């Protein structure tokens, strides 16, 4: 679809891009209003879950750009999240008690550090394809506990660090629920991420991303610098993962390597594929599923009334199996993910 | 020096089991162009069945045969019932279905057998032969080596000497052309899955006695090491899988012995970076320019 | 922008789904009179445990055993007329999951207290949250010293003897019975291994050789090889059961036969023999320590009681030390409820636990007081002989600082006639 815009004269191109940006801005504002309204309706735990969805959304949106739009698979995004989370933990510890602004500084620093880390991985990744890229990023994912115990003076090995977070600003009132504040923080990050990424992927960068994904040789002929595009995609995606990880640290008020296991990285990939690889809407579905699906399978199991002996066998195991079955069924029924199930379907 | 010799043999013993499991990954990659993330869980499932049979009949070897045969059946079933219906236009769909299978298998095993460790006996003594005070290999290690080389030999013969092997390779690389030429592509896929799962089950029977015991997650870490081994060697090369397995085994042993166990994953990452930057398709990739 | 619609739809759907199944509680534990999780007829407590995943082995049996003991108490009318409901949440030993499930328990289910949450890395992450919400955090299932910080975490109490206490007790036994021997150490690379080694070295001085392992690499060949070469005669293990079994097997494999002295965490014979199978005789002579009755000690009145509860309320699950542990936790919690009195409040139960004075199945003293929130302060040595693990000698008590290791001579308590602690 974007190809049709290419021959237009420059003045004709500017206008739709500006209009598009305004439209994204309006959507973002609408999203913000919806979230704020929701946080006043939902009870505290649901607000916490909503906040978790927001933090996940930063990561899944970034991963969608990398994997969905650029075709590079990363099994190591959990490690990038850990990078952001540990940065926040270490900085917040240093700046404890100096006010709300420190959080912004820490989060921005987390994004920068993770961007650098992602750039390094991206440089190596740009040479690799398919399973070889998967293998390398898998090794990145499992290196987190090794690093935290090798440098345990800084990272305190398995036990991890606690994250200092200020209570909600007093201006909001003395009894402002903490979980509502957490949801606001997380969704500020998430909506910002969505706005920036939506603008990016509709522009020139997005066209390069997709061109490289669809046919590297053709993209090269069309003048796209393939390696540069791939590294850039990794960098953008890492920045988002860093933000997501930072928000996780803030929500949990603690970081430890056990919170970023290989299964997290794998679940992130599952989430964006199930949600729908081609679009950012898929990333939203993915983030929602990451939180809702385990909770749903657990409550389904809970509602089954059986003898203690049987219950002990089912406990934990049945939710696991149900979760797996759901993944398989969705994948077979909707190969393009949930976002592709919309009646009016467009190709990315 | 004693220490080096000891660590070398320890690493070779570990490496051999990684090699065995990496072979299963290579096999399925060659046959279907999929990295089967469920390979570990499938191997554990058949190992549970194998050990149940061994426990009930008192014969380890009967259990062993049942496990490998169970692998054949399970592989075929997974392909016929699930994988066949996956839309492979995106390679990730297969990966996600495989991960879903992992959860289902682990959940079902947990419900049936419980999440406790169970003993996994070995058919041969695991006591190492001592030479000059240094423990070298055990009978079981020798059995693992023999099994790995037998599998490599059989696979090489299958793919290069037999008609079926040729058809399997053709189906994987050019399914449409193969179909036109009268190859039963679907049947070949099923056969590929069955064989790969059987080799995986065999590897599981070799690995599990050397680790913590039988558990629904018993192969998780082995999967990571073996996948690394297969990537290092090159996913298209059975020989590469064996070499990759031994390299990873030796590296883990040396690093744990000289620098400490915590550093080992960092060393593995560095190994991958070095190997893949030099040869993006693994050590034994045939053509540098293949874009998968 | 239909996709944006889809995205908004996803969120709204999520909100609708979750709002649908949530009660209309406005959250917060403020409000006079009503105590979260407590009614005239019920008290609701929750826990987090690994029920699935690699860490679930053994541990997954603890919480159901606690629940079974509560059901046993409920069957004779509960405590002060209240029946105890116990909600068990699976966190797979992943600290991120612990965050979710503990918040669900506290904010959504409004539990009265968190009981026996398991694991150091997992539970460390929720300490601040529990403190902010003033939730009693009773009898944490781990031997970390973190639970004993009454100034920082006034509502958190330990249960297990901490790893340093245990290290000191095991080491003084070694010092006494194996003088002049070369003592070495293999431990898990986290607070378990570190604290344990700290206790050992307080008594013995620096060990001859020390090695560590990580759970993500199930091979201790290189480590055992190093200890063998160092000529170690006694090897002290701070290992979880899987790695104890692995260490024994690996040592046998390379012809290394030291005296093994193992932390209680990884020394349960029944768990070990499950993993070792035919190689179980390798455990012969293994020294360890414990503080609860052995599951195999049929003559012990507590074991008789717990076996009865297990048969009636736990589906007759295979009886092992994890079940003894779970029921002992349940017994201590019921004692705390009794002591807190009829008007149950969160402050009341914390005050009752701090008052202490509980006698139960353990052969070691509980140390609870206003300025000590650590759990048991001692252990008794045990040995595997003729395929049976049994206590020998007298129990010892000590602290995690430089205090002496002294014999603890108090008479072991016997369970009450009906198996339920009486109101104090």
Q: The complex's ipTM?
A: 0.89
C323 neighbors C59 (Cβ within 8 angstroms): no
Q: CB burial class (10 A; 0-12, 13-18, 19+) of residue B166?
A: middle
Q: Please, what is the average pLDDT of chain A?
A: 88
Please tell me the distance from the alpha carbon of residue C249 to that of residue C243, in angstroms, as a whole number.
9
The DSSP element (H or E) to which C108 belongs, if any, is: none
Q: Taking 70 as the threshold, does the pLDDT of residue A240 lie above it?
A: yes
Give this prediction's pTM.
0.90
Q: Kindly give the residue spans of alpha helices, DSSP state H, lying in C76-147.
A: 95-103, 120-124, 127-132
Please tell me the distance from the alpha carbon of residue C146 to that of residue C165, in angstroms, as a whole number.
14
User: CB neighbours (10 Å) of residue C31?
Assistant: 9
Mean pLDDT to the nearest integer, C288-303:
94
Q: Which residue has the higher pLDDT, A295 or A255?
A: A255
Please tell me the distance from the alpha carbon of residue C135 to that of residue C142, in angstroms, as a whole number.
19
Mean pLDDT to the nearest integer, B29-44:
90
> For A22-36, A298-312, C144-158, which range has the lowest pLDDT when averaged over its residues?
A298-312
Instruction: Please give the sequence-ordered ranges of beta strands (E in DSSP) within C78-195, or none if there are none.
Output: 83-90, 113-115, 137-140, 156-158, 183-188
Mean pLDDT to the nearest integer, A303-322:
81
Please tell me the distance from the alpha carbon of residue A277 to that of residue B93, in angstroms, as a whole number.
10
The full length of chain C comes to 424
Tokens read off for A83: 């990078």
> Minimal Cα distance from B208: which residue of C?
C218
User: CB neighbours (10 Å) of residue B231?
Assistant: 31
| Angle at alpha carbon of residue B100, lines to B96 and B106, rounded to 5° | 145
Nearest alpha-carbon partner for A255 in A112, A167, A142, A144: A144
Asked if B273 lies within 8 A of A136 by C-beta distance, the reply is: yes
* End-to-end CA separation in angstroms for chain C: 68
Cβ-based contacts of A277 with chain B (< 8 Å): 90, 92
Instruction: Please give the sequence-ordered ranges of beta strands (E in DSSP) within C222-377, or none if there are none.
Output: 234-238, 259-262, 287-290
Cβ-based contacts of C229 with chain B (< 8 Å): 2-3, 6
Q: CB burial class (10 A; 0-12, 13-18, 19+) of residue A48?
A: buried
Q: Give the torsion sign (CA, C66, C70, C71, C73).
A: positive
Tokens read off for C383: 């040995």
Nearest alpha-carbon partner for A74 in A335, A329, A268: A268
Cβ-based contacts of C144 with chain A (< 8 Å): 159
Q: Taking 50 as the threshold, does the pLDDT of residue C30 lie above it?
A: no
Determine what percent of chain C is predicted with pLDDT higher than 70.
92
A209 neighbors A35 (Cβ within 8 angstroms): no
Tokens read off for C251: 């040592």
Please tell me the distance from the alpha carbon of residue A298 to that of residue A300, in angstroms, as a whole number.
5
Nearby residues of C368 by Cβ (< 8 Å), 6 or more positions away: C157, C353, C354, C355, C356, C358, C375
To the nearest whole angstrom, how far is the Cα of C146 from the nearest Cα of chain A? 10
Nearby residues of A144 by Cβ (< 8 Å), 6 or more positions away: A78, A79, A82, A257, A260
Asked if B119 lies within 8 A of C276 by C-beta distance, the reply is: yes
CB–CB contacts below 8 A, B to C: 121
Nearest to C274 among B117, B216, B220 (CB): B117
Determine what percent of chain B is predicted with pLDDT higher than 90.
47
Asked if A150 lies within 8 A of B97 by C-beta distance, the reply is: no
For chain B positions 1-30, those within 8 Å of chain A (CB to CB) are 29
- Specify the pLDDT at position B205: 93
Please tell me the distance from the alpha carbon of residue C119 to that of residue C94, in angstroms, as a whole number.
10
User: C217 touching A, CB under 8 A?
Assistant: no
Q: Which residue has the higher pLDDT, B258 or C24?
A: B258
In this prediction, residue C1 has a pLDDT band, given cuts at 50, 70 and 90, of very low
Tell which of B2, B5, B9, B10 to mutate to test the C interface (max C CBs under 10 Å): B10
Tell which of B100, B101, B229, B289 to mutate to test the A interface (max A CBs under 10 Å): B100
Q: Taking 50 as the threshold, does the pLDDT of residue A3 lie above it?
A: no
φ/ψ of C184, rounded to 5, equals -125, 175
DSSP state at residue A33: H
Mean pLDDT to the nearest integer, B135-147:
87
* End-to-end CA separation in angstroms for chain B: 44
Pairing of strands C183-188, C137-140: unpaired
> Minimal Cα distance from B126: which residue of C?
C253
A224 neighbors A212 (Cβ within 8 angstroms): yes
Q: Taking 60 as the threshold, does the pLDDT of residue C16 lie above it?
A: no
């Amino acid at each position: 679809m974007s190809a049709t815009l290419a021959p237009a004269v420059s003045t004709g191109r500017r206008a739709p891009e500006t209009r598009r940006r305004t439209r994204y801005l309006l959507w973002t504002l609408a999203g913000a209003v919806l979230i704020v309204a929701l946080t006043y309706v939902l009870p505290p735990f649901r607000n916490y879950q909503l906040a978790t969805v927001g933090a996940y959304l930063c990561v899944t949106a970034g991963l969608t750009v990398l994997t969905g739009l650029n075709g590079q698979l990363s099994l190591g995004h959990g490690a990038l999240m850990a990078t952001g989370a540990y940065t926040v933990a270490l900085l917040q510890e240093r700046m404890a008690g100096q006010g709300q602004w420190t959080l912004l500084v820490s989060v921005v620093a987390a994004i920068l550090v993770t961007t650098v880390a992602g750039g390094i991985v991206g440089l190596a990744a740009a040479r690799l394809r398919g399973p070889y890229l998967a293998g390398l990023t898998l090794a990145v994912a499992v290196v987190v506990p090794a690093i935290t115990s090798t440098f345990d003076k800084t990272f305190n090995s398995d036990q991890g660090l606690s994250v200092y977070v200020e209570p909600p600003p007093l201006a909001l009132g003395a009894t402002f629920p903490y979980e509502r504040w957490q949801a606001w923080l997380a969704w500020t990050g998430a909506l910002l991420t969505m706005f920036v990424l939506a603008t990016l992927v509709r522009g020139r960068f997005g066209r390069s991303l997709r061109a490289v994904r669809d046919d590297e040789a053709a993209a090269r002929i069309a003048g796209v610098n393939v390696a540069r595009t791939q590294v850039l995609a990794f960098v953008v995606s890492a920045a988002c993962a860093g933000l997501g990880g930072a928000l996780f640290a803030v929500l949990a008020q603690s970081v430890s390597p056990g919170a970023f296991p290989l299964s997290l990285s794998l679940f992130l990939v599952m989430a964006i594929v199930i949600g729908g690889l081609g679009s950012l809407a898929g990333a939203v579905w993915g983030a929602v599923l990451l939180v809702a699906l385990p909770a749903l399978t657990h409550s389904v199991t809970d509602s089954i009334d059986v003898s203690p002996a049987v219950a002990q066998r089912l406990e934990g195991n049945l939710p696991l199996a149900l979760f797996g079955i759901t993944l398989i069924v969705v994948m077979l029924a909707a190969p393009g993910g949930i976002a592709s199930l919309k009646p009016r379907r467009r190709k990315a | 020096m004693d220490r080096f010799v000891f660590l070398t043999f320890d690493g070779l013993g570990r490496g051999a089991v990684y090699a065995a499991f990496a072979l299963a990954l290579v096999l399925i990659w060659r046959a279907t162009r999929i990295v089967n993330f469920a390979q570990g869980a499938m191997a554990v499932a058949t190992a549970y069945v194998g050990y149940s049979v061994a426990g009930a009949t008192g014969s380890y070897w009967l259990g062993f045969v049942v496990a490998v045969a169970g692998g054949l059946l399970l592989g075929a079933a997974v392909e016929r019932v699930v994988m066949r219906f996956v839309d492979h236009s995106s390679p990730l769909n297969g990966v996600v279905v495989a991960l879903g299978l992992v959860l289902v298998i682990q959940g079902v095993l947990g419900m049936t057998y419980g999440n406790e460790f169970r003993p996994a006996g070995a058919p041969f003594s695991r006591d190492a032969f001592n030479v000059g005070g240094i423990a070298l290999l055990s009978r079981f290690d020798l059995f693992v080596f023999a099994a790995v080389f037998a599998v490599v030999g059989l696979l090489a013969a299958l793919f290069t000497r037999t008609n079926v092997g040729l058809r399997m390779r053709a189906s994987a690389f050019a399914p449409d052309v193969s179909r036109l030429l009268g190859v039963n592509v679907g049947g070949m896929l099923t056969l590929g899955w069955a064989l790969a799962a059987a080799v995986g089950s065999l590897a599981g029977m070799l690995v599990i006695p050397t680790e913590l015991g039988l558990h629904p997650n018993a192969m998780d870490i082995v999967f990571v090491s073996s996948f690394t081994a297969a990537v290092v060697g090159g996913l298209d090369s059975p020989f590469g899988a064996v070499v990759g397995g031994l390299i990873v085994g030796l590296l883990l042993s040396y690093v744990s012995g000289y620098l400490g166990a915590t550093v080992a994953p960092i060393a593995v990452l560095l190994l991958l970076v070095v190997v893949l930057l030099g040869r993006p398709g693994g050590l034994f990739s045939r053509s540098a320019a293949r874009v998968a | 922008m239909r996709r944006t619609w889809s995205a908004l739809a996803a969120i709204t759907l999520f909100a609708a789904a979750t709002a649908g199944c949530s009660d209309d509680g406005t959250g917060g534990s403020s409000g006079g009179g009503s105590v979260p999780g407590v009614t005239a007829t019920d008290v609701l407590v929750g826990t987090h445990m690994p029920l699935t995943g690699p860490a679930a082995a053994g541990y997954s049996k603890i919480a159901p055993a606690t629940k079974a003991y509560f059901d046993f108490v409920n069957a004779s009318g509960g405590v002060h007329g209240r029946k105890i409901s116990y909600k068990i949440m699976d966190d797979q030993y992943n600290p991120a999951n612990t965050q979710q499930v503990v918040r669900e328990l506290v904010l959504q289910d409004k539990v009265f207290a968190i009981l026996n949450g398991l694991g150091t890395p997992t539970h460390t992450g929720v300490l601040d949250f529990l403190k902010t919400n003033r939730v009693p955090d009773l009898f944490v299932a781990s031997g970390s010293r973190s639970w004993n910080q009454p100034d920082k975490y006034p509502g958190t109490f330990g249960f297990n003897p901490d790893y340093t206490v245990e290290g000191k007790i095991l080491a003084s036994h070694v010092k006494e019975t194996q003088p002049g021997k070369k003592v070495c150490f293999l431990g898990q690379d986290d607070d378990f291994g570190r604290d344990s080694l700290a206790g050992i070295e307080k008594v013995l001085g620096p060990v001859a050789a020390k090695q560590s392992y990580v759970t993500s690499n199930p091979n201790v060949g290189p480590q055992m090889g190093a200890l063998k070469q160092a000529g170690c005669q006694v090897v002290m293990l701070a290992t979880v059961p899987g790695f104890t079994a692995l260490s024994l097997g690996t040592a046998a494999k390379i012809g290394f036969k030291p005296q093994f002295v193992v932390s209680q965490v990884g020394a349960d014979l029944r768990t070990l023999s499950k993993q070792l199978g035919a190689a179980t005789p390798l455990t012969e002579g293994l020294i360890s320590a414990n503080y609860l009755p052995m599951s195999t000690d049929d003559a012990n009145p507590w074991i008789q009681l717990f076996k009865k509860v297990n048969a009636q309320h736990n589906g007759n699950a295979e009886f092992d030390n994890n079940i003894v542990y779970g029921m002992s936790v349940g017994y201590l919690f019921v004692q705390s409820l009794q002591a807190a009195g009829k008007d149950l409040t969160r402050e009341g139960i914390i005050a009752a636990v701090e008052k202490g004075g509980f006698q139960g199945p353990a052969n070691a003293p509980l140390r609870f007081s206003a300025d000590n929130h650590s759990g048991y302060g001692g252990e008794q040595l045990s040995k595997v002989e003729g395929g049976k693990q049994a206590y020998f000698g007298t129990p010892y008590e000590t602290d995690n600082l430089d205090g002496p290791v002294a014999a603890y001579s108090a008479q072991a308590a016997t369970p009450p006639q009906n198996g339920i602690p009486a109101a104090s």
